[in-house]
Structure 1
Amino acid sequence: MSTTSTGLRLATVDGAAVDIAPTHLVVAGYTGRDQEAVRHHIEELAAIGVPEPDSIPAFYPLEVDRLTTDAAIEVSGSATSGEVEPVLIRANGTYYLTVGSDHPDREMETVGIQLSKAACPKPIASTVIELGDPPALVDWDSIVVRSWVDGELYQEGPLSSMLPITQVLAEWDQISGSKDVALVLFGGTRPLLDGTFRYGRDWRMQLEVPGRPSIELTYTVSVRSN
């Protein structure tokens, strides 16, 4: 678990500057609301060699230097792909909501999910919605997320199929005992529309909160030359 501060310059949807220095980055997985379906998915992955998680939801602490708002990232392998996720930020005595991409190395997943997630940067949008402290009441089920890869729709749907990210946060705080740390939490993702991973170059992520401006993230991926 990282305790190194990395500063990020963000802005609220109203244009106010936000500087954050998170000390912890956590990517949550298996956050589907239908736990029977989650268990079935875990068994499917286990059949192809992907290790089962230690807990459900699963939590993968990463180094905070994996976070980036850059428009381009470099990866070391060709089999990497993005996933749209709601991202909850706890910093500066308040909470913020934005959109991010958990971008893992798929070939490493059979070795270890933690390794696969740590292998690539974790892009987040530079725009956030300030929720206050405690987080303002948000109709999480009405939030819609989408992703595109190379211009083609890849994921789409409401967060109603997933555990509210504030519930995921509460479970992490209970497990970690680190309730007061400056944290960036990726809250899990929706299934792929066609069930097939794509290893594209151009990625676009979108989060729509009713009554708020939509938040978008775009980035390109290049494979690092050896």
Structure 2
Amino acid sequence: MTDTATRLRLDTVDGAEVEIAPTHLVVAGYTGRDLAAVRHHIDELAAIGVPEPETIPAFYPIDVDLITTGAEVEVGGTATSGEVEPVLIRANGTYYLTVGSDHTDREMETVGIHLSKAACPKPIASTVIELGDPPSLVDWDEIVVRSWVDGELYQEGTLDAMRPIVEVLAEWDQINGSSDVALVLFGGTRPLLDGTFRYGRHWRMQLQVPGRDPIELSYSVNVRNP
């Protein structure tokens, strides 16, 4: 997974164009600050057959070619859904923050979370906020994320219940013994407003840092023909 031709052309909110060539894509899960609540959620999932994670937070490295800024993604089944997530990018000697969707195959999730995440593309916005090096996220608790599916609000709230993504990154680096690889890290998500997965076609994600215009991501889902 370390050799890739993946290149992403992005724009910063300040108007600069950047090109990144990530070599690693990692989706983090169970990133809540309340460990008791995280443990309860794991037990709930285990009761319906979803395997427990090996670590908390859990890390799922997947093929970097799954990253996309395209307006359409292709999936293999009808039971897939997105989730809004903050995304941290480490590349070019600096860090960037954007919004992404951890689009996941929900039927495959009971077989294995890693497999379910690797089964779908991972859309990210083409606009990023440069954070510098070391990355500064002073307003983390006040960042608001939202998602919509087929025009209906699906998720909404601040990130104050989630571990700051720079802390999640530090744990990943410690586990892997490396802090210099070009990386795209999905940092976890908020609960669904009604607690029920939706399998719609049109998805919209938003991340709003206080004092800045929201970063937006929109994409449509197409199911491959068998």
Shorter chain as denominator, the TM-score bin is: over 0.9
CA distance in 1, matches of 2:152, 2:136: 33
- Structure 1 runs not aligned, ≥5 long: none
Match of 2:19 in 1: 19
Quick check: 1:148 aligned with 2:148? yes
Task: Give matches, 1:104-123, under 5 Å.
Answer: 104-123=104-123
Secondary structure of the equivalent of 1:161?
coil
Query: SS at the partner of 1:129?
Result: strand
Partner of 1:212: 212
Partner SS for 2:10: strand
Q: CA deviation at 1:222?
A: 1.0
TM-score by length of 1: 0.98
Aligned counterpart, 1:168: 168
- Distance (Å, rounded) in 2 between the aligned partners of 1:200 and 1:143: 26
Equivalent residue number for residue 83 of structure 1:
83
Q: Which amino acid aligns with 1:194?
A: D
Q: How far off is 1:3 after superposition?
A: 3.6
Where do 5+ consecutive residues of structure 2 fail to align? none
How far, CA to CA, are the matches of 2:187 and 2:14 in structure 1? 24
| Structure 2: distance between partners of 1:112 and 1:131 | 34
Q: CA deviation at 1:38?
A: 0.5
TM-score (norm 2): 0.98
**C-alpha deviation, 1:2, in angstroms:** 4.3
Give the structure 2 partner of residue 47 of structure 1.
47
Q: Give the drift of 1:137.
A: 4.0
Report the CA distance between 1:214 and its aligned residue. 1.1
Q: Using the TM superposition, give the Cα deviation of residue 154 of structure 1 relative to its aligned residue in structure 2, in angstroms.
A: 0.2
What are the superposed Cα offsets for residues 98-151 of structure 1, whole Å, 9 maximum, x if unpaired? Answer: 000000100001110000000000000000000000112421000000000000
Q: Partners in 2 of 1:20 and 1:213 — Cα distance?
A: 23
